[in-house]
Amino acid sequence: MNIASLAPLAVVLPILGAALTFLLIRYPRAQRTVSIAVLTLTLLLECWLLASVWGGGTAAVNIGGWMPPWGIVLVVDQFSSLMLVVSSAVSLAVLIYATGQGMADGDRDAPVSIFHPTYLILVAGVSNAFLSGDLFNLYVGFEILLTASYVLITLGGTGPRIRAGVTYVVVSVVSSVLFLIAIAMIYGATGTINMADLAIKLGDLDQGTRTLLHVMLLVAFGIKAAVFPLSFWLPDSYPTAPAPVTAVFAGLLTKVGVYAMVRTETLLFPGDALNAPLMVAALLTMVVGILGALAQSDIKRLLSFTLVSHIGYMVFGLAMSSVAGLGAAVFYVVHHITIQTSLFLVTGLIERRSGSSSVDRVAGLAKLSPVLGVLFFIPAMNLAGIPPFSGFLGKLGLLQAGVQLGTPLAFALVIGGVLTSLLTLLAIARVWNRAFWRKPEDAEHPDPVLLAAPEDSATGDRAGKTNVTLLPRTMVGSTLGLVVFGVALTVFAGPLFKVADQSAQEMLDRSPYIQAVLGENAPVPPVPQAERPGQQGGGK
């Protein structure tokens, strides 16, 4: 039996788990056990899938026994299985964190009973989007995860969450409608929505139609991935949600958009037709995003802006459409999912410990809670791209690929990338200086919990019996697990970069994907390379 034929389980398991947790809605303990068990099982399965395609190989599963291009296919290749493993690992960590928070707070603050089924459906939608080899199934995957995310972002139904939720829902629905229009037009133009089949047939369309379809897909995915100027909704809607929800959204949802953009650029519309506009968008995303981050005083909002900003790096790698660039982008996606999620989880802990997530109010945490300092410092430095962390390696790969490409625009992006990295460091250092190193007395409106104990002059210890809010061990533990996972990405960066490069190679080659879906004899059209020589001539 082919292992890849188990791929549908990555979607089915979480959905079954959601049904079961919904039945167990009155038994929180059983619910927790079921959802954690289901996600662990899914993660193991996905690791197995990744192992089966490690080092090359693409497998396709026909759902319902219909042959492609008529039936729906799920495609397992290195990129999709890598994304599956990372996304499930991250969602498992966040789930444990959320159950820890739920157990500590009870059901008052957030209706945890609804949380579990919705969360599992979100995971199922993400898995479906990653695996889908059919454009409409990709749309359905998006809708599954979006509908779940609508519920999660308005969890509890408080005023600010409803307000943020409205923006989020409307923007998401509009982007889905755009995606659906693009699908309809693609079907009208080619008569198929199977992605491998489209890869062959889209090449036969005339230039104008192709560009139109290409732009429509990129705009629809660009809204989901929060690429400037379509990123306005993200910093507004993410920060108000509960900490674990924001964390999983920041880690996964935008990356699903990036994943869809990668598939669009490599499989459906290969070549460099829209590379220049994409590069400009990447540059603006990086710079505008990080400038927004510098203005914020709320840590969650600041992190949301860095999230937008760092999407620019991935789009940059994607827009180079070279093996080096795309490989670095794949590596960067994996790195960024992990790091951004752990930073949001730590921010949740900071908020819990100090009563606020605003850098104007939080202070003195380095002495009050050194563990929190370590948990924040490692991913923060990782995000800013300080060697030797994976953020540095990913950025280095992108910059090298940019210099290799050598066009003036690529050099502009290299400079923009370095600048963004420095500004990220500045934004992060500001949080660090204020929230961790500053004395509570120096803060503008410090939370009473930070001030309660006078400094012990002998040891410099500030923690007293009155001002210790205990952080639940499960929450700290899961955050620690994710931080360690992030460090592991640095340690195992070598093999990871190799897989990323291989998957980039396969995606740019296209033949493994097309032949896995349509059979060995499927014709693979050549990639249009019209503008490449001209671009190189324009370089230095």
Partner 1 sequence: MSVNLTLLTIMGALYACGIYLILERSLTRVLLGLMLLANATNLLILATGGYAGLAPIFDKNTPAGDYNDPLPQALILTSIVISFAVTAFMLGIIYRTWVLARQDEIQDDAEDRRVAETPSFDAEDDSVIPVETSEFPLAMFGSDGAGLMDTAVGSGSGTGSSASAVMSGDRVVRAEKAASEEQPGSLNVDTSKEGDGK
Q: Are 144 and 125 in contact (CB under 8 A)?
A: yes
Q: Does 22 bind partner 1 (CB under 8 A)?
A: no
Query: Is residue 498 close enough to count as binding partner 1 by CB under 8 A?
Result: no
CB 289 within 8 A of CB 312: yes
What is residue 289's three-state secondary structure? helix
Structure tokens given for 470: 């205990």
Q: At 18, list the tokens.
A: 């959601």
What phi and psi, each to the nearest 5 degrees, are found at residue 134? -135, 130
């919990």: which residue's tokens?
449
**For the packed helices 135-153 and 112-131, what is the interaxial angle rounded to 10 degrees?**
160
Q: Which of 12, 104, 140, 219 forms a contact with partner 1 (CB under 8 A)? A: 140
As a whole number of angstroms, the distance between CA 80 and CA 76 comes to 6
Based on the shown chain and the rule CB under 8 A, indicate whether residue 160 belongs to the binding site for partner 1.
yes
Question: From the CB of 149, what's the least distance to partner 1, in Å?
Answer: 11
Q: Which 184-243 residues touch partner 1, going by CB under 8 A?
A: 184-185, 187-188, 193, 236, 239
Task: Check residue 136 for interaction with partner 1 (CB under 8 A).
Answer: yes
DSSP strand E in 237-322: where?
A: none
Sign of the four-CA dihedral 203, 209, 213, 215: positive
Per-residue string for binding with partner 1, 389-428, x by CB under 8 A?
----------------------------------------
Is 170 a binding residue for partner 1 by CB under 8 A? The answer is yes
Q: Which stretch binds partner 1 (CB under 8 A): 28-36, 170-178, 206-214, 519-527?
A: 170-178
CB of 165 to partner 1, least distance (A): 6
For 523, the 3-state DSSP assignment is: coil
Structure tokens at 499: 């897989």
Nearer to partner 1, 157 or 537 (CB): 157
Name the one range near partner 1 by CB under 8 A: 148-156, 254-262, 487-495, 512-520. 148-156
How far apart are CB 16 and partner 1 at their closest, in Å? 20
Q: Tokens 């660039």 sit at which residue?
A: 325
CB of 361 to partner 1, least distance (A): 12
Among the candidate windows 180-188, 258-266, 325-333, 400-408, which touches partner 1 by CB under 8 A?
A: 180-188
Residue 437 CB coordination number (10 Å): 15
Q: Quick one: 13 or 220, whose CB is closer to partner 1?
A: 220
Distance in Å, CB of 173 to partner 1, minimum = 5
Least distance from partner 1 to the Cβ atom of residue 343, Å: 19
Of 163 and 498, nearer to partner 1 (C-beta) is 163
Q: How far is the CB of 176 from partner 1 (least distance, A)?
A: 8
Task: Round to whole Å and give the CA distance between 430 and 424.
Answer: 10
Contact window for partner 1 (CB under 8 A) among 24-32, 168-176, 448-456, 512-520:
168-176
Q: Which of 440, 231, 462 is nearest to 355 (CA)?
A: 440
Work out whether strand 73-76 and strand 59-62 pair parallel, antiparallel, or are unpaired. Answer: antiparallel
**Closest to 215 (Cα-Cα) out of 277, 279, 266:** 277
Question: Which H or E run includes 61?
Answer: strand 59-62
Residues 288-317 vs partner 1: string with x where CB under 8 A?
Answer: -------xxxx--x----------------
Which positions from 239 through 258 interact with partner 1, judged by CB under 8 A? 239
Binding mask 436-465 for partner 1 (x = CB under 8 A): ------x-x---------------------
DSSP string of 98-159? HHHHHHHHTTSSS-HHHHHHHHHHHHHHHHHHHHB-BHHHHHHHHHHHHHHHHHHHTTT--H
Which tokens hold the place of 538? 């324009």
Total residues at the site for partner 1 (CB under 8 A)?
Answer: 42
User: In terms of CB distance, is 150 or 377 closer to partner 1?
Assistant: 150
Q: Which among 390, 268, 295, 373 has a CA at the least distance from the CA of 339?
A: 390
φ, ψ dihedrals at 297, nearest 5° = -110, -15
Beta bridge partners of 74: 61, 132
Provide the minimum distance between the beta carbon of 148 and partner 1 in the complex, in angstroms, as a whole number. Answer: 11
The partner residues of 241 in beta bridges, in order of sequence, read none
Q: How far is the CB of 147 from partner 1 (least distance, A)?
A: 6
The backbone torsions φ and ψ at residue 495, rounded to the nearest 5 degrees and listed phi first, read -60, -35
Question: What distance in Å separates the CA atoms of residue 353 and residue 449, rounded to the nearest whole number?
Answer: 8
Q: How far is the CB of 193 from partner 1 (least distance, A)?
A: 8
The 3-class secondary structure across 321-349, one letter per residue, is: CCHHHHHHHHHHHHHHHHHHHHHHHHHHH
Q: Does 128 bind partner 1 (CB under 8 A)?
A: no
Least distance (Å) between residue 157 CB and partner 1? 5
Q: Does residue 429 bind partner 1 (CB under 8 A)?
A: no
Nearer to partner 1, 86 or 193 (CB): 193
Tell me if 177 contacts partner 1 by CB under 8 A.
yes
Q: Are 297 and 377 in contact (CB under 8 A)?
A: no
Copy the structure tokens of residue 14.
Answer: 């979480």
Based on the shown chain and the rule CB under 8 A, indicate whether residue 150 belongs to the binding site for partner 1: yes
Residues that bind partner 1 (CB under 8 A): 136, 140, 143, 147, 150-151, 154, 157-160, 162-167, 169-170, 173-174, 176-177, 180-181, 183-185, 187-188, 193, 236, 239, 295-298, 301, 430, 434, 442, 444
